[in-house]
Structure 1
């Protein structure tokens, strides 16, 4: 099976002294994945191999071509041989359920994407906005700020390939109590989110109510879009959001946080879902009342 990392030779250069040392290095793998639906090419995306079925499911769901896992009859890799004589797994063949939109109503638009782009296959921003479930249904979910503070480290601990390469983005899906449900890595931040959403679709969990999606980099528009379409109420990013991401989060009724770097975070939308209360594990036994959390309003 294709791997997520590979070894190469490199020269480590000391920029102060000019000293050079030959050494081995580990790189994150980036390869194309071609998606075919009933024998017709739909898209080619650059990705890190692994969890390709989840990636395809998440992508198709975000594009509005897939309503549920029942719309896909089968998926399989078509193995080919690369220049080194080893099998590749860069073609995923999808059989669609007859009568589904995926089978008969695929729109005529270019879908070729890169590991840095998540919405360039779409005709317009308006079309993307039309797929968002607004407002996002959250079942009254509330997230404690002390739980939120621990999520970036919990995601980092799940990034096994990043530890070897330093070259991958990650997305992690947590419960509101901080339990990790799924973590995925990829050279493309939007691919990592697609893999998480695809996992949720395979597991029959969509919409992803009551969850927190944590991403290792910035929160761009396409990440908010994918999260909103999947029904995720809370998105937390380690880095900055874009202006359009903030606008979409507010319109979709989501909670959006950026610069989540304990002990601080910026709340850009949906602060009513965040609770400030006693630290996790602090007992309220014998007081006759439970904790009285304070909502962070925006």
Structure 2
């Protein structure tokens, strides 16, 4: 937590009275993801993404989750190694992660060029976006999972006690994976935080990927953010069937979720929520 939170001094207004006081803020730093690829006797390197993230100790999960959700890799054994890069003085650079890919991994360089000029919050839009995911995941998500409204109302409480960085700063997003045992009973089994909502989800999916837990068809995803197309796309790749967001969904997020048979819930509050598609999984 030392590298994820830093102290600062603020002036807090209570009414019209300013008071100087100490505060804690979440750290934001860049992370570059580099790939090592090619034949054993002719290894190449390419930087594919620079994203602003919170250094929580889950950089490797973030990198693996990003590669998986963007369909660059499909299996953990496609990774030979993952490590931080070193500078000329051989000091470890913890803002640069290099993933060595197996020589038989084929890379779509046109796709990699797109990543080189985007951040974690950028993406592609419209019908072509959904068609691209359908090419990668042609089968809609099939899941017999159901969830009751009381359990949906409990999700913020289930997640809140594990949100360390948000508790201290109020400045991080959370992506929480909840195992649904039955419609009325769920247990949190994986949670990741980051200043960027996309990074938080990549970290969570990367951790599940590393533990060979994918697909996550019997898992609910709870996120503290709004629902964007990119987040739905990542959930589709991970096989998640129910997603609950604290904020609002975009039209493309709804359309994407509907296309892949995902139950999309937004505006989750203490005593209300909106179901945008997949209502058959919400137990009445």
TM-score by length of 2: 0.86
Trace 1:79-90 onto structure 2 (pairs within 5 A): 79=86, 88-90=93-95
Structure 1 residues 11 and 141, CA, compared in 2 at 3 Å: closer, same or farther? same
Displacement of 1:195: 0.8
Residue matched to 2:39: none
Give secondary structure in 2 for the equivalent of 1:226.
helix
Residue matched to 1:35: 33
Which of 72, 97, 100 is the aligned partner of 1:65? Answer: 72
Residue matched to 1:130: 135
Structure 1 residues 2 and 134, CA, compared in 2 at 3 Å: closer, same or farther? farther
Displacement of 1:190: 0.9
Equivalent-residue separation in structure 1 for 2:71 and 2:59 (angstroms): 18
1:173 is the counterpart of 2:180: no
Displacement of 1:128: 4.1
**When the two structures are aligned, how many residues end up with a matched partner?**
265
Structure 1 residues 238 and 46, CA, compared in 2 at 3 Å: closer, same or farther? same
Structure 1 residues 185 and 234, CA, compared in 2 at 3 Å: closer, same or farther? same
Displacement of 1:214: 0.4
Residue matched to 1:291: none
Residues 175 and 201 in structure 2, CA contact (< 8 A), matched pair in contact too: yes
Structure 1 residues 220 and 212, CA, compared in 2 at 3 Å: closer, same or farther? same
Residue matched to 2:8: 8
Give secondary structure in 2 for the equivalent of 1:110.
helix
Displacement of 1:53: 0.9
Residues 46 and 113 in structure 1, CA contact (< 8 A), matched pair in contact too: no
Displacement of 1:246: 0.6
Displacement of 1:68: 1.2
The alignment's C-alpha RMSD in Å is 2.3
Residues 133 and 231 in structure 1, CA contact (< 8 A), matched pair in contact too: no
Equivalent-residue separation in structure 2 for 1:118 and 1:133 (angstroms): 23
Question: How far does the alpha carbon of each residue in 1:74-107 deviate from its partner, in whole angstroms, 9 at most, with x for none?
Answer: 10012569xxxx9751000110011113xx4443
Equivalent-residue separation in structure 1 for 2:169 and 2:84 (angstroms): 26
Equivalent-residue separation in structure 2 for 1:41 and 1:120 (angstroms): 20
Bigger relative contact order (CA 8 A; separation at least 6):
2
Structure 1 residues 157 and 79, CA, compared in 2 at 3 Å: closer, same or farther? farther
Which of 243, 255, 265 is the aligned partner of 1:257? Answer: 265
TM-score by length of 1: 0.82
Equivalent-residue separation in structure 2 for 1:169 and 1:92 (angstroms): 22
The gaps in structure 2 that reach 5 residues or longer are: 37-44
Residues 11 and 19 in structure 2, CA contact (< 8 A), matched pair in contact too: yes
Residues 174 and 180 in structure 1, CA contact (< 8 A), matched pair in contact too: yes
Give secondary structure in 1 for the equivalent of 2:142.
coil
Displacement of 1:25: 1.5
Equivalent-residue separation in structure 2 for 1:271 and 1:76 (angstroms): 43
The range that moved more, 36-45 or 105-114, is: 105-114
